[in-house]
Chain A
Amino acid sequence: MSFHIENIVPEYINYWHEVGLSKFIRVFWYFILFEFTRYIVIDYIIAFIFGANKKKRAEKFEKARQLLRLENPFVSVIIPGKNEGKHLFKLTRSLAEQTFSNFELIIVDDGSDDDTPIIGKNLERLGLIDKFIRNEMRGGKASAANLALRYSSGKFIVHLDADCSFDYDAIENVLVPFYMSPKIAAVGGNVKVRNYKESLCSKLQAIEYLKTVSVGRIITSYLGIYKIISGAFGAFRADVIDAIGGWDIGPGLDGDITVKIRKSGYKVCFEPSAICLTNAPSKFKVLTKQRLRWDKSIIRFRVRKHKDVYFPNANFSWSTFFALAENVFYNVVLDILWWFYIIDIIINYSSQLQFVIPMNFTLYFVMSYVQMCSIYVFSERRKEELYLWPYVSLMSIYTGTYLRIVRTAAYYKEFFFKRSFEDTWNPYKSSAQAKKAGL
């Protein structure tokens, strides 16, 4: 076996060595232009700057934390959801461990058809939940969040998913950035995959979350173009979120509200030390469904609903423009370009595929590990995450092939057929009205 590898590897590597750099760039233009610059060059530049400013940042963070502790503001933790009753007790236990404790807990049960109302009312009676509000009729995630918002009285709103658990200082840390700048109106928490040992599917997602959610958001946040606060863990200024009318109809309402906050002139940032663990889908079938929903929302919200941010007008802001443009570019445009790239290769280099394909995989393989090194630099769970390193080798198939196909399917469906309006994720009554209004 080892004999074979030694024979084959040098052969295509030698090929690219001999044809020269210009042809190499011509054939792998997609990788070099987009993947390499975005995920390696920028990552390492930011990592370098980040490392250099480490002490200053820590001081600034500590100062803000003192301000937070001094004021000790009242915070509303809101959890909208359907059929989440089974998670509620564990969640209240997890929240009881928090270093920050001046909060009320509001649960909205959005038309659950299981034991959630019984569990919720019991926990409310026991004093473990401050308000349990049940909707007999399901209204969708946005309306459930808005209902919780209407009955909250905190200065900040922390939005959680019921099946998440939190580091003991997560809520405190997610609130600290508000005391760094009065311009900050929303802070995203750092969501990691808890069940990364469960299946291959969850392992690959754990790596993906580390790359895009953790590191990706540190970088976009640093660049001021952080665009999506995860619904699993995010904090908002109550006055700002009230002023923008709360959440609009989903799916993709997490990204949507971030854009709305940016549009109204506030900053949105990411706090890597506010760590929340969530369960990722452990089966590819479930994951595919989830990603189709997420990817459709990019077309619906980034491209369609908020198209005004791309044009000069009174509210124009470069960072909002870049935040959305980066998102649209790296998802939609690059996805289309990738298919162009495939066609380009098939038409022009069909005779050299035996050299092109293995080289492409090699590039992505090497890049995945180089990227993993930057994750290692940022992470606070380095030792645990070493467990994932062997699976990084599969990432080029996962992100490069699987996720790309799902994404293309989603864009196609949404762009041409507005399929997200038929998504059962929202009740029909809401979708029908939203579609009519062109949202």
Chain B
Amino acid sequence: MLNVLRHNDRTNKIQFSGYTLLRVDHISSIQQESLTFVDAIIIDTENNEHATDLVFFIRKNADLAIALKPIFINNTCQLNKTFEIHTDGYIDLNELSIAINRVDIITKRSKRISHKNTVGHDYQVKQKILAFLFTRNSTIVPITNRASLIGYSFPFIDLFYKEEEVMSKLSMLEKSVECGHLSTNLKDFVHLCKRCHGNYLNFVEACPKCDSIDIKAQDIVHHFVCAHVAPEKDFKTKDGLACPKCDKQLRHIGIDYDKPSSMYSCNCCNHEFQTAKMIAKCIDCNAENELSALIKKAIGSYSITSAGEEWLRGGEEQSSQVSLLNDGVMTLSLFKIIASQELKRITISKSTSQIAHILFVNERLDTFDDATKKLLVKEIGAIIKSYLLPSDVMAADNYNSYYLLLPETKEQFPKRLETIQYNLGKLLGDNLQERLLDIKIQTHQLIEKETVDSIIKQFHK
């Protein structure tokens, strides 16, 4: 009854602590709505098809900002379990504050993602998945599902692949893990049909010669005293076992006879063999797979890595970082190795060295266009290097964040860092009326027994 009422009242906006939530029951009610000014969507229907249409419409939206909007289900509605996993969960309309908390986080995090136009389905999907993981600050955990071809459903990810595209889905995830943007936690292995990639398989033993499954195992009997060996049926008499070679009765297993092995015989081609062939029959496409032909795939949960977050923010501009690195600036991993050697050195030599961190606060550089950014990055590198001593070492984490190793430096904040801060500030000021405050320089004096990682962590607190 209530549903009918809502149908008439098609748009239903809820305002709550500065956010706008849109309550919808059918795709038609959001098609004419500009979703840009909505912060979250509440699905308010018990019709699974309508709800699915809504989720697809939002998640597949070309505008990343819209695709990432939180989608809730009104907790008065009961929807299919396999569908729920693609949303942000249920919402209690009488208790909005918990949901609003999530909306707040998702909205703020969404703003930190650079909205760029991308080409290629896989590339777009990868960006969406990384963005989803980043905005939700969580992990995508696969869920067992008989309805899925491979037996597992992936929340969110599954929305972008048809059932038969499961291989490209898994390979996209594998590639993202390979390039370090996603991290994975192994949950299971699945073995898939070589033809249709289904995992609903029936395992049967078969004749290695003719593939018939009509095979029967027989124990082999060995009569010790005469060394006669034959299948049990040769020994069978109406009152037990008797040896066909020496006519003796077989009385006691282990004393006068034993069963050292067993043999199969094929009722189709009469082949006799010991090792049956295992066949995995596919319930979906009837293919008969040999076990070695099955495709083995890892199923894992996925989280975004810091490199993945960086990729999300910087996207293709990574190339500029490479050119920056080529300019006599080392990578962070190499810097860590050198810094830990320095740590060992000061432990022995009892000298004082510093590590400094230069940070452009609020990722200021991201606000520039690509061409300016490239120029600026080059200038920044040049400025920092020009004031460093020959023994100083410089590394770039990304173009907002730089590390310096300053060996044999006693002052808490050495003069050369002051100069660098002043000149960098001037550089930013010339280009965009920025103040010195936006460049943060921290220093840390190396102490015995600490690690480079812990120092770097401290800088980011």
Chain B residues with CB below 8 A from A134, complex form? 261, 274
Q: Which residue of B lies closest to A135 (CB)?
A: B260
Rounded to whole angstroms, the CA-CA distance of A131 and B208 in the bound complex is 11
CB pair B260–A248 under 8 Å, yes or no, is: no
CB pair A151–B272 under 8 Å, yes or no, is: yes
Q: Is A430 an interface residue (CB 8 A)?
A: yes
Residue-wise, chain B 222-253 has the 8 Å CB interface mask toward A (1 for contact) of 10111111110010000000000110000000
Chain A residues with CB below 8 A from B274, complex form? 131-134
Partner of A135, one of B224, B245, B261: B261
Q: Is B120 an interface residue (CB 8 A)?
A: no
CB pair B227–A247 under 8 Å, yes or no, is: yes
CB pair A146–B229 under 8 Å, yes or no, is: yes
CB pair A137–B225 under 8 Å, yes or no, is: no
Rounded to whole angstroms, the CA-CA distance of A246 and B225 in the bound complex is 13
Partner of A429, one of B230, B258, B263, B273: B258
Q: Which residue of A lies closest to B273 (CB)?
A: A131
Tell me whether A139 and B231 are in contact in the complex, defined as CB-CB below 8 angstroms, given that A124-B275, A133-B263, A429-B254 are known contacts. no
CB pair A139–B225 under 8 Å, yes or no, is: no
CB pair A248–B261 under 8 Å, yes or no, is: no
Chain A residues with CB below 8 A from B258, complex form? 137, 139, 429
CB pair A434–B229 under 8 Å, yes or no, is: no
User: Of residues 250 to 308 in B, which have CB atoms within 8 Å of A's CB atoms?
Assistant: 254-256, 258, 260-261, 263, 272-275
Residue-wise, chain A 145-166 has the 8 Å CB interface mask toward B (1 for contact) of 0110011000000000000000
Q: Is A249 an interface residue (CB 8 A)?
A: yes
CB pair A142–B260 under 8 Å, yes or no, is: no
Q: Is B220 an interface residue (CB 8 A)?
A: yes
Q: Which residue of A lies closest to B292 (CB)?
A: A125
CB pair A136–B226 under 8 Å, yes or no, is: no
Chain B residues with CB below 8 A from A430, complex form? 224-225, 227
Rounded to whole angstroms, the CA-CA distance of A226 and B405 in the bound complex is 93
Q: Is A177 an interface residue (CB 8 A)?
A: no
Q: Is A297 an interface residue (CB 8 A)?
A: no
Partner of B226, one of A138, A245, A432: A245
Chain A residues with CB below 8 A from B273, complex form? 124, 131
CB pair B225–A150 under 8 Å, yes or no, is: no
A124: min CB distance to chain B, Å: 7
CB pair A147–B275 under 8 Å, yes or no, is: no
CB pair A249–B225 under 8 Å, yes or no, is: yes
Total A-B Cβ pairs within 8 A: 87
Q: Is A121 an interface residue (CB 8 A)?
A: yes
Residue-wise, chain A 246-280 has the 8 Å CB interface mask toward B (1 for contact) of 11110000000000000000000000000000000
A243: min CB distance to chain B, Å: 11
Chain A residues with CB below 8 A from B263, complex form? 133, 151
Chain B residues with CB below 8 A from A140, complex form? 227
Rounded to whole angstroms, the CA-CA distance of A132 and B273 in the bound complex is 7
Q: Which residue of B lies closest to A124 (CB)?
A: B275
CB pair A245–B246 under 8 Å, yes or no, is: yes
Q: Which residue of B lies closest to A250 (CB)?
A: B227
Partner of A150, one of B224, B230, B260, B275: B230
Q: Is A111 an interface residue (CB 8 A)?
A: yes
User: Of residues 95 to 148 in A, which have CB atoms within 8 Å of B's CB atoms?
Assistant: 111, 121, 124-125, 131-140, 142-144, 146-147
Tell me whether A437 and B220 are in contact in the complex, defined as CB-CB below 8 angstroms, given that A121-B275, A151-B272 are known contacts. no
CB pair A139–B227 under 8 Å, yes or no, is: yes
User: Of residues 378 to 434 in A, which have CB atoms within 8 Å of B's CB atoms?
Assistant: 429-430, 432-434
Q: Is A439 an interface residue (CB 8 A)?
A: yes
Chain A residues with CB below 8 A from B254, complex form? 429
Q: Which residue of B lies closest to A137 (CB)?
A: B260
Chain A residues with CB below 8 A from B227, complex form? 139-140, 142-143, 146, 246-249, 430
B333: min CB distance to chain A, Å: 43
Tell me whether A143 and B229 are in contact in the complex, defined as CB-CB below 8 angstroms, given that A135-B260, A151-B263 are known contacts. yes
Chain A residues with CB below 8 A from B228, complex form? 143, 146, 245-246
Chain B residues with CB below 8 A from A131, complex form? 272-274
Chain B residues with CB below 8 A from A147, complex form? 220, 222, 229-230
Chain B residues with CB below 8 A from A436, complex form? 225
A287: min CB distance to chain B, Å: 26
Rounded to whole angstroms, the CA-CA distance of A123 and B181 in the bound complex is 45
Q: Which residue of B lies closest to A429 (CB)?
A: B224
CB pair B275–A136 under 8 Å, yes or no, is: no
Rounded to whole angstroms, the CA-CA distance of A146 and B260 in the bound complex is 13
CB pair B225–A437 under 8 Å, yes or no, is: yes
CB pair B222–A143 under 8 Å, yes or no, is: yes
A130: min CB distance to chain B, Å: 9
A165: min CB distance to chain B, Å: 26
Q: Which residue of B lies closest to A141 (CB)?
A: B227
CB pair A245–B245 under 8 Å, yes or no, is: yes
Most chain A beta carbons < 10 A, residue from B224, B227, B260, B272: B227
User: Of residues 361 to 383 in B, which have CB atoms within 8 Å of A's CB atoms?
Assistant: none
Rounded to whole angstroms, the CA-CA distance of A147 and B256 in the bound complex is 17
Q: Which residue of A lies closest to B270 (CB)?
A: A153
Partner of B225, one of A125, A132, A247, A439: A439
Tell me whether A433 and B272 are in contact in the complex, defined as CB-CB below 8 angstroms, given that A137-B260, A150-B229 are known contacts. no
Q: Which residue of B lies closest to A108 (CB)?
A: B229
Most chain B beta carbons < 10 A, residue from A111, A124, A135, A249: A135
B228: min CB distance to chain A, Å: 6
B246: min CB distance to chain A, Å: 7
Chain B residues with CB below 8 A from A111, complex form? 260
Rounded to whole angstroms, the CA-CA distance of A289 and B459 in the bound complex is 78
User: Of residues 287 to 345 in A, which have CB atoms within 8 Å of B's CB atoms?
Assistant: none
Chain B residues with CB below 8 A from A434, complex form? 224-225
A145: min CB distance to chain B, Å: 8
Rounded to whole angstroms, the CA-CA distance of A247 and B55 in the bound complex is 77
Chain A residues with CB below 8 A from B225, complex form? 249, 430, 433-434, 436-437, 439
Rounded to whole angstroms, the CA-CA distance of A166 and B228 in the bound complex is 29
Rounded to whole angstroms, the CA-CA distance of A121 and B2 in the bound complex is 70
A105: min CB distance to chain B, Å: 13
Q: Which residue of A lies closest to B248 (CB)?
A: A437
Rounded to whole angstroms, the CA-CA distance of A432 and B225 in the bound complex is 8
A159: min CB distance to chain B, Å: 14
Rounded to whole angstroms, the CA-CA distance of A436 and B252 in the bound complex is 15
Chain B residues with CB below 8 A from A150, complex form? 229-231, 234
Q: Which residue of A lies closest to B228 (CB)?
A: A146
Chain A residues with CB below 8 A from B226, complex form? 245, 248-249
Rounded to whole angstroms, the CA-CA distance of A142 and B224 in the bound complex is 10
B215: min CB distance to chain A, Å: 14
Chain B residues with CB below 8 A from A139, complex form? 222, 224, 227, 229, 258, 260
Given contacts A247-B227, A249-B226, A433-B225, 11 further A-B contacts (CB under 8 A): A124-B208, A133-B261, A134-B261, A137-B260, A140-B227, A146-B230, A246-B228, A248-B226, A248-B227, A249-B225, A433-B224
**19 A-B residue pairs with CB within 8 Å:** A121-B275, A124-B208, A125-B275, A133-B261, A137-B258, A137-B260, A139-B222, A139-B224, A143-B227, A150-B230, A245-B228, A247-B227, A249-B224, A249-B225, A249-B227, A429-B255, A430-B224, A433-B225, A433-B256
Identify the A interface with B (CB < 8 A): 111, 121, 124-125, 131-140, 142-144, 146-147, 150-151, 245-249, 429-430, 432-434, 436-437, 439
In the A-B complex, list the 6 residue pairs whose CB atoms are closest, starting with the nearest: A142-B227, A135-B260, A245-B245, A147-B229, A433-B224, A433-B225
